[in-house]
Amino acid sequence: MPGLNKQILIAACLGVLIGWLVGGQPADSSLREGVLYASSLVGSIFVGMLRMILIPLIFSSIVVGIANLQAHHQVGRVWKVTLTYFVITLSLAMLVALIAANIFKPGSGLSVNLFADAMDAFEASQLSVPEFFLHFFANLFQNPFAALANGSILAVVVFAMFMGIALVAGGERYRSILNVFQEFLELMLQMVGWIMRLAPYGILALLIGLVAGQDAALLMTMLGFVVLVFATTLFHGVVVLPGILYSVTGKSPLWFWRGSREALITAFATSSSAATLPITLRCAEHNLKVRRSVAGFVLPLGATMNMDGTALYEAAAALFVANLVGIELSLTQQMIVFFTAMIASTGAPGIPSSGMVTMVMVLQAVGLPAEAIAILLPIDRLLDTVRTAVNVEGDMVGSLVVDKFAGGEEVVSGSDANVSDEKA
């Protein structure tokens, strides 16, 4: 029996193959219906299990992670490196998109009339940049029980950080509470290990449904754009991020991909950075040997804030829509696209197609019709696969970079800690 890592790879290949075969069957064939039903059942059970564990896992991992970093006076440093890394990689992703879209001009050969019906029938929800900020900051601070129950990841992150810092500030007094959280985290990780054993089946099922559900004719119409998005996203994932990883940590890209493969394939199949997070955390800690305190902070934050693939996509898609409606965006307008796409990707939650929702803001910022996203929605499930995988890759590279900059050795050997380092 091959190891889990190999099983997941085999399942992904099989899923694409079976999905392609099933997609070729007539729409009313009972075989097709049966396979699609079974795959959507298994796929939703798998994603449901990941979601089930997500909130208790990130809550405990942030409380424990931040408490450990705080005990070693490292929270400030980790914050700074994490945010700097997020901004640099998001900017690089959007630069790649803008340069490629200016060279290849996707959408310029297409006529917007082709999509008139879709655009007419679509009503985009409107959210301007100031409204977005208001919404974003207001949502950071919430009743923790409501945030936990609603799965508001950022609000959970914020409350858990406060709590982690307070636990250390209180010293010995809160030691037993911190121990409880540490044990609770162990318990959650044990459950993640069990759920991961089901990953090959979940991924097989999700990919069958995804591939069988593609509309080949529509894809051919928009082929130029689809290829551009895939190629630039892959460029970022295969050249830019591994380049940063190698130059900062000296780790080889092959070593990184081997260690992160389970998370990357899960992200591809689920199109959700949030649902993938339990597996991302496990891969970072077990395979890539990132300290749990760093992984537990950088990865949950990255899963909602650091979305290189989404930022890249939003910038490319804005230029695609501009070409489609025959508007040439000036350099200033492209700068506006750059900044709003950065904000929009940061605010997109790590769930399928959330980038589409926040993209309305990017289009509006440069006066493009928000309804144009109706054109992009039908192909979004496909494009979301690679961009989510690159979103997760960016977070994992980030955890390695932060681990390196935040001085791993110091923490392990720190003697003034009132919290034992969990890696020992």
Please tell me the distance from the alpha carbon of residue 297 to that of residue 64, in angstroms, as a whole number: 9
Please tell me whether residue 351 binds ligand ASP under the rule CB under 6 A: yes
Distance between CA 334 and CA 98 in Å, rounded?
Answer: 8
- Say how far apart CA 400 and CA 231 lie, in whole Å: 25
The reply to whether 237 sits near ligand ASP by the rule CB under 6 A is no
Q: Which stretch in 105-113, 180-188, 213-221, 383-391 sits in contact with ligand ASP by CB under 6 A?
A: 383-391
> Smallest distance from the beta carbon of 164 to ligand ASP, in angstroms?
25
Q: Which of 388, 394, 398, 405 binds ligand ASP (CB under 6 A)?
A: 388
Task: Tell me the window of 71-79, 183-191, 244-252, 380-388 that interacts with ligand ASP (CB under 6 A).
Answer: 380-388
Residue-wise burial string across 108-135, b where 16 or more C-beta atoms lie within 10 A, e elsewhere: eebebeebeebbeebebeebebeebeee
Q: Which of 237, 278, 296, 355 binds ligand ASP (CB under 6 A)?
A: 355
Residue 348 binds ligand ASP, judged by CB under 6 A:
yes
Q: Rounded to an integer, what distance in angstroms lies between the CA atom of residue 282 and that of residue 333?
A: 41
Q: How far is the CB of 87 from ligand ASP (least distance, A)?
A: 18
Complex with ligand ASP: residue 308 or 371, whichever CB lies closer: 308
Which amino acid, one-letter code, is at 140? Answer: L
Residue type at 322 in one-letter notation: A
- CA distances 184 to 190, 315, 358, Å, are 10, 41, 35
Q: Return the residue nearest ligand ASP (CB atom).
A: 355
User: Least separation, in Å, of the C-beta of 113 and ligand ASP?
Assistant: 28
Question: If you write DSSP's letter for every residue of 366-381 in order, what string do you get?
Answer: TT--GGGHHHHHHHHH
Sites for ligand ASP among residues 266-285 (CB under 6 A): 271-273
Question: Binders of ligand ASP among 121-140, rule CB under 6 A?
Answer: none
Give least dist CB 206 to ligand ASP, A.
13
Q: Does 393 sit near ligand ASP (CB under 6 A)? A: no
Q: By CB under 6 A, tell whether 301 contacts ligand ASP.
A: no
Q: What is the DSSP string of 197-247?
A: HTHHHHHHHHHHHHHHT--HHHHHHTHHHHHHHHHHHHHIIIIIHHHHHHH
Binding site for ligand ASP (CB under 6 A): 271-273, 307, 310, 348, 350-355, 384, 387-388, 391
